[in-house]
Structure 1
């Protein structure tokens, strides 16, 4: 198994996921696709920036490191290119852990928000969280309790569900790179292929 090629494949997958996570979090600032007059009426989980920081920014750095691993030997070490590649693979495991923590943060925030439901307008100048323990997930009739913003319930539910899935996938990919990085550290750059990489001649 070529650990560098596998890491490059993982990095290439993480980049679009990070961009989608970033975009999903940005859209949460516009409930129902509308600009809200008072930002304090947004669900507080939106302000935790799970998709922007966790699945977004904190994921870009590991992804870039993974992408460059195949040709990175850390300028060699102890006069040995193989030693340099092992050190680069070890470093990638540290970035993979950082990515895992960031994705886990986004995953947890999304799960909490989905269970809690969005903050919405109930009438009589009242903005609050009308749902309890995810009861609205199995009873869409409760969605009518929210008078505004329009379609805020499906909007938040859809975007936080996307962030939940993205965070879960990113956690798996980072965990795979931790294992891949440790193999590369212990065994060096092996022969063969991973994620479609061809066996060198």
Structure 2
């Protein structure tokens, strides 16, 4: 398979993940599915925009670059340095690094938020009642949060989704970094022969 084809597949996979991460982050601004009466009642990590910026906006740029790599003339540019095919594959490594950093940011924020737990009302006082993820294996502690209703499963579900999706994005970007390195060294199509060998399609 051409490295350009591989990059296109990765770009197609990244776009829906970026959209879903953005939506998950937006939903976290509505604790328990309700409009917060005060912005201070929203969990702090939500304001770091891990899903919107890290796995959302920053992921769109690599995805578009990966999608555009296949538009270059593949076999017709073998051995022709002016076409910039190898430079395009090299640039995809840089954008893959940007995407990996964005996904990593979202992954870390989500992991911290899951371990810390949601901000909720305990006997009329808004606070973080859980420590070091102690609520994850003890659902009885969830009853400490009186408001918003169902805030713990809401918080846990959305941040877990962000954690998983950002992890997948990081893996995809790492794959493209390797794919881009191969494309930089060996060219794009196997019909060209590895490392610039061959003059065109057989």
Shared fold, TM over 0.5: yes
Aligned to 1:128: 127
Q: What are the Cα deviations for residues 64-107 of structure 1, in whole angstroms up to 9, with x where unaligned? A: 0000101136xx99x93675110000000000000000000000
- Output aligned runs, 1:10-29, within 5 Å: 10-29=10-29
Contact 1:62 1:92 in 2 (8 A): yes
- Looking at structure 2, the residues matched to 43 and 52 of structure 1 have their Cα atoms a distance apart, in angstroms, of 15
Aligned to 2:32: 32
Structure 1, unaligned stretches of length 5 or more? 193-199
Give the alignment's Cα RMSD to 1 decimal: 1.9
TM-score (norm 1): 0.90
TM-score (norm 2): 0.90
- Looking at structure 2, the residues matched to 80 and 123 of structure 1 have their Cα atoms a distance apart, in angstroms, of 72
Q: What are the Cα deviations for residues 147-170 of structure 1, in whole angstroms up to 9, with x where unaligned? A: 001110000000000000001000
The Cα shift of 1:191 comes to 2.0
Contact 1:120 1:128 in 2 (8 A): yes
Contact 1:121 1:149 in 2 (8 A): yes
Aligned to 1:197: none
Aligned to 1:48: 48
Aligned to 1:154: 153
Q: How many residues align?
A: 190
